């Protein structure tokens, strides 16, 4: 029996972490647990989650860098942010207004880690674009599934998308990016050790969420 998660109603939670962190498995389990408690969940995934967003997803994850030369980093960052702006206005804000729990698989924390810390774009620039794209709709809580690159790589399918195919050094920096964010904004971030088996990680998720109280 899971402890009450009723305090999550009307809140905006993000699950994030490096590729291969297992966050999507944990996401599914949490959705089932909160729904079993009668809480309505609006699930979104990034990039995507709207018709426009799915087209951006296809463009940014499956673009062949040899068509037009490499995709410019700022172009890539702005595409992720554009998809996010649409997702907020079309799905996230209306769900929050209706008192639903919004659960997002990735959000601006991914852009800060991948395009920022790992990709080399200044984090301050991404945050400025984020102010425009997100407006007042910032997550209440970001749960980061923390995993080393070796464990993460062993969990990935051999068919990699553009981001996943980037090398070990990039993925080490992605992880560092999440650590930096958590250090800079400790009230909004919680790190979970995602190297363990799924049941152990899930226990940690539930413990983290039951102990968290919205401001």
Q: Which is nearer to ligand TYD, 176 or 207 (CB)?
A: 176
User: Rounded to the nearest whole angstrom, what is the least distance from the CB of residue 200 to ligand TYD in the complex?
Assistant: 20
Q: Which is nearer to ligand TYD, 41 or 53 (CB)?
A: 53
Q: Which is nearer to ligand TYD, 39 or 173 (CB)?
A: 173
Residue of 101, 170, 100, 113 whose CA lies nearest to 145: 113
Length of the chain: 215
Query: From the CB of residue 45, how many other CB atoms can be counted at a distance below 10 Å?
Result: 18
Q: Can you give the binding site for ligand TYD, defined by CB under 6 A?
A: 19, 24, 46-47, 61, 80, 105-106, 110-111, 114-115, 161, 163-164
Task: Give the burial class of 99: count Cβ atoms within 10 A of its Cβ; 0-12 exposed, 13-18 middle, 19 or more buried.
Answer: exposed
Q: Which is nearer to ligand TYD, 34 or 108 (CB)?
A: 108
User: Rounded to the nearest whole angstrom, what is the least distance from the CB of residue 191 to ligand TYD in the complex?
Assistant: 17
User: Rounded to the nearest whole angstrom, what is the least distance from the CB of residue 3 to ligand TYD in the complex?
Assistant: 27
Do residues 103 and 44 make contact, with C-beta atoms less than 8 angstroms apart?
A: yes
User: Rounded to the nearest whole angstrom, what is the least distance from the CB of residue 139 to ligand TYD in the complex?
Assistant: 13
Place of tokens 């790190």: 191
Distance, in Å, from the CA atom of 138 to the CA atom of 131, rounded to the nearest integer, reads: 9
Place of tokens 């408690």: 37
User: Rounded to the nearest whole angstrom, what is the least distance from the CB of residue 22 to ligand TYD in the complex?
Assistant: 10
Distance, in Å, from the CA atom of 42 to the CA atom of 92, rounded to the nearest integer, reads: 7
Q: Which is nearer to ligand TYD, 113 or 204 (CB)?
A: 113
Residue of 201, 203, 69 whose CA lies nearest to 147: 201
Q: Which is nearer to ligand TYD, 148 or 210 (CB)?
A: 148
User: Rounded to the nearest whole angstrom, what is the least distance from the CB of residue 167 to ligand TYD in the complex?
Assistant: 13
Distance, in Å, from the CA atom of 12 to the CA atom of 153, rounded to the nearest integer, reads: 29
């Amino acid at each position: 029996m899971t402890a009450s998660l009723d305090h999550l109603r009307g809140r905006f939670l993000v699950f994030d972490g490096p590729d291969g962190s297992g966050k999507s498995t944990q996401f599914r389990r949490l959705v089932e647990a909160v729904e079993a408690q009668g809480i309505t969940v609006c699930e979104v995934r990034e990039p995507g989650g709207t018709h426009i967003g799915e087209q951006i997803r296809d463009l940014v994850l499956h673009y062949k860098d040899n068509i037009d030369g490499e995709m410019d980093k700022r172009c890539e960052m702005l595409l992720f942010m554009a998809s996010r702006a649409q997702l907020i206005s079309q799905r996230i804000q209306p769900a929050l207004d209706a008192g639903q729990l919004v659960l997002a698989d990735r959000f601006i924390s991914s852009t800060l880690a991948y395009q920022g810390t790992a990709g080399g774009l200044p984090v301050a620039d991404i945050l400025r674009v984020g102010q425009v794209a997100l407006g007042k709709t910032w997550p209440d809580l970001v749960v980061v599934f923390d995993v080393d690159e070796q464990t993460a790589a062993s969990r990935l399918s051999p068919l990699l998308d553009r981001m996943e195919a980037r090398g070990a050094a990039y993925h080490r920096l992605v992880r560092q990016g999440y650590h930096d964010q958590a250090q800079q904004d400790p009230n909004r971030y919680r790190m979970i050790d995602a190297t363990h088996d799924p049941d152990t990680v899930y226990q940690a998720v539930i413990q983290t969420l039951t102990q968290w109280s919205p401001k």
